[in-house]
Structure 1
């Protein structure tokens, strides 16, 4: 047989093998299964974009191809909490395999819509205290995922950071929105944590932009030396106004989300949310592979971000200790 002939036969043989090969591979996998994911967000699509990108990046890192073997149905409430139940019900009706719920109100709305579909919470506050799960180790129902803040230690950290900049800090305002259910248990935890650090708290309720003037008047009257804002989407929307009024009232302020430091707050300290959205994808992966949400432990943040606004510190005549600046993930000058 000529070498020419051999080569041709070999190619035919190889060709034949390759032709049957994809069929064999397809048979081993749950053949070309396309997973459907629901995603319920509180903010607008525009504001949620960085989180959406981190979430999709997390899926890609696990080998999923968005639009090919996984499709995502996004629903955004545009900051209107009362739209959440209808949007959650819509995702359940579509028959998605799993629903991602950003923050507590979205998780609550989704739990009301389904007791069977797996729900993955992405950045909840105090999921045990707010009864979203039975425990962090064994959630026990159809809900698991990631907590942005599962306890008091992170609250204490925020107060300690303020004390580093204001060593004689003793009277601390806490601005919060009582309309968000989770904030009540969080408020109790913050008050307790402040007390252990020797701080007297001055709670001020802010339900909307019209109550801001009153909140600052109360803090001034009660001799607050600084204030913290309890993280919540409503107050997040007013971060610009709050920062401006804090400057006018010469009050140093701290918050969870780094957008508030960017808006002019003195500092922010909280979980790296983009990291939580990226990690959320692994819960979908485990559930697609047969895991039961009831048995998947709730995970906590690994990465925290400290942002210091030096421009604000200078305007308030405050000196930020170099040790604090050295620990900051970001310094705004």
Structure 2
């Protein structure tokens, strides 16, 4: 709720006669009445509990009914923190209706329609499929996307600077990041010649990222093997394809499916002595070798802040799509030693964080 303006008491004595005294008194009373009415108006505007729809392509609820730890720590809590920055607290002045597709993209249109039918005041759409479902479900309700991919190329907004419609958001993409990731992998392991690129075909990597990889690979002396996976059952076939084609490097696009299966991906790479570059630190925290990327919890915090600002009256059309400005290189030296990965010392010297 907007803070009430202070009512300052002041002297109204005049050195210029009664007429001026009366004028100043009228001015004072007008100001005083306006000050009194302002907080009443603000309270009236926020007396209604606001409602947010939260649509997530991934999984967030345990069979027991509680929040899954990964979603709770890396998505839900940062999102709520961002809301609080704009003055909104779940359970006090805002409620959140959550829907999770658990990696099943075909469920998203119905889930988005449910949230629209609830007449929520704003929608948060996590990941590209959720953002597309939300976009198709409403042109009226403001939508904030978290990690939508290439928002312009995918048709979500007309431009990053001025989205122009009912959609805005925060993305993990920035120019040349994909190329930088495989360049760092090559620098860490100069003999790398064939890199498998593991990606979720339900969330195609942004065309910008794919073009960057294709352009950078020849200059780095690398052949790329694109390996699609459509859901948890598909990882066994993906791992077999990577092994069969003798990839000596692995790059994993971060998305809800790979996040949710990061332990098995990390385990496969380490067990087969394949140096792996991941797009987020969450993979390194469970034993992955190295990552280069932005801060995903910070992205959800910023998305929460955007939702709060929209509830406060700002228009999504005027809120630019935010891109990350800081990327961190993180290396798990404990994993490197345990599985015999000999990382180039020059790269270790430039690492932002080393896990030992």
Q: Which moved more, 1:137-146 or 1:323-332?
A: 323-332
Tell me the equivalent position of 2:145.
121
Count residues in correspondence: 313
Q: What's the secondary structure of 1:148's corresponding residue? A: coil
Q: CA deviation at 1:163?
A: 1.9
- Give the Cα–Cα distance (whole angstroms) in 1 for the partners of residues 219 and 165 of structure 2: 34
RMSD: 2.7
Tell me the equivalent position of 2:39.
26
Q: CA deviation at 1:120?
A: 0.3
Q: What's the secondary structure of 2:172's corresponding residue? A: strand
Q: CA deviation at 1:219?
A: 3.4
Q: What's the secondary structure of 1:205's corresponding residue? A: strand
Q: What's the secondary structure of 2:214's corresponding residue? A: helix
- Give the Cα–Cα distance (whole angstroms) in 2 for the partners of residues 214 and 75 of structure 1: 30
Is the Cα contact below 8 Å between 2:290 and 2:329 reproduced in 1? Answer: yes
Runs of 5+ consecutive residues of structure 1 not aligned to the other structure:
1-19
Within a 5 Å distance, the mapping from 1:283-322 to structure 2 comes to 283-322=306-345
CA pair 223-86 structure 1, distance change in 2 beyond 3 A: same
Tell me the equivalent position of 2:299.
276
Q: CA deviation at 1:220?
A: 4.0
Matching of residue 100 in structure 1 with residue 100 in structure 2: no
Is the Cα contact below 8 Å between 2:189 and 2:344 reproduced in 1? Answer: no
Within a 5 Å distance, the mapping from 1:75-86 to structure 2 comes to 75-86=99-110
- Give the Cα–Cα distance (whole angstroms) in 2 for the partners of residues 208 and 32 of structure 1: 45
Is the Cα contact below 8 Å between 1:145 and 1:280 reproduced in 2? Answer: yes
Q: What's the secondary structure of 1:64's corresponding residue? A: coil
- Give the Cα–Cα distance (whole angstroms) in 1 for the partners of residues 210 and 125 of structure 2: 23
Is the Cα contact below 8 Å between 1:41 and 1:102 reproduced in 2? Answer: yes
Matching of residue 74 in structure 1 with residue 85 in structure 2: no
Write the deviation string for residues 129-171 of structure 1: whole angstroms up to 9, x where unpaired. Answer: 22222221122221111111144x1112211221221023332
Tell me the equivalent position of 2:60.
44
Tell me the equivalent position of 1:12.
none
- Give the Cα–Cα distance (whole angstroms) in 1 for the partners of residues 200 and 270 of structure 2: 21
- Give the Cα–Cα distance (whole angstroms) in 2 for the partners of residues 231 and 281 of structure 1: 20
TM-score w.r.t. the length of structure 2 is 0.78
Q: Which moved more, 1:285-294 or 1:43-52?
A: 285-294
Write the deviation string for residues 93-152 of structure 1: whole angstroms up to 9, x where unpaired. Answer: 11111111111111111111101111000122111222222221122221111111144x
Q: CA deviation at 1:205?
A: 2.3
Q: What's the secondary structure of 1:204's corresponding residue? A: strand
Match for 1:168 among 188, 191, 204? 191
- Give the Cα–Cα distance (whole angstroms) in 2 for the partners of residues 276 and 283 of structure 1: 11
TM-score w.r.t. the length of structure 1 is 0.83
Match for 1:224 among 247, 272, 276? 247
Q: What's the secondary structure of 1:307's corresponding residue? A: strand
